[in-house]
Amino acid sequence: MIVVDASVLIAYLDSDDDNHEAAETLLAGAIDDDFGVNPLTLAEVLVVPARDGRLQLVQLALRDLDVRELPFPRDTAVRLAQLRSSTGLKMPDCWSCWRQKTPGRRSRPSTIASPRQPRTAMCRSCGADAGDCRCYCGSNPQLKR
């Protein structure tokens, strides 16, 4: 699962955006992966299309790209607050690093996609690089549960 930042989708959807080509290349290179966005990110992407009367057109384009809206889990506020306080990341970046853990399944690292940065694997629970994770979620294969 690649958690996509709003800037990537906005650039992809707007051919006049300075990062349009980079966004196209990034998304095309990961076409076999699943793309996900949280509701706030999706809302950010849809603001201008909604204002300009292009909402349905953009929703179709996102559907064609197989972008999935990731629901907020019940304890989102607490977990994001803990992540932000422990890492110093901005709140949107905290969300991109964290994803709901499904009971009975080990967490896997998220991948953050941004046109300005290469994709990096990060722990969904603590926000650390997957190899540096110390929270025993399964992101760092060197740590045993």
* 60 is a domain residue: yes
pLDDT of 97 reads: 72
CATH number at residue 13: 3.40.50
Q: Is residue 28 domain-resident?
A: yes
Q: Is residue 93 assigned to a domain?
A: yes
17-19-21 Cα angle (round to 5): 100
The mean pLDDT of 105-122, rounded to a whole number, is 47
Asked if residue 66 belongs to a domain, the reply is yes
pLDDT at 101: 37
Helix 20-29 / helix 6-13 crossing angle, nearest 10 deg: 110
Question: 């064609």: which residue's tokens?
Answer: 64
The domain of 82 spans: 2-132
Q: Determine how many CB atoms are found less than 10 A away from the CB of residue 93.
A: 18
Number of domains in the chain: 1
Q: Is residue 65 part of a domain?
A: yes
Q: Is residue 86 part of a domain?
A: yes
Q: Is the pLDDT of residue 145 over 80?
A: no
The pLDDT > 70 percentage for the chain reads 66
Q: Does residue 8 lie in a domain region? A: yes
pLDDT at 135 over 80: no
Task: Judge whether residue 17 has pLDDT over 80.
Answer: yes
Q: CB of 145 within 8 A of CB of 134?
A: no
With respect to residue 55, please indicate whether it lies within any of the assigned structural domains. Answer: yes
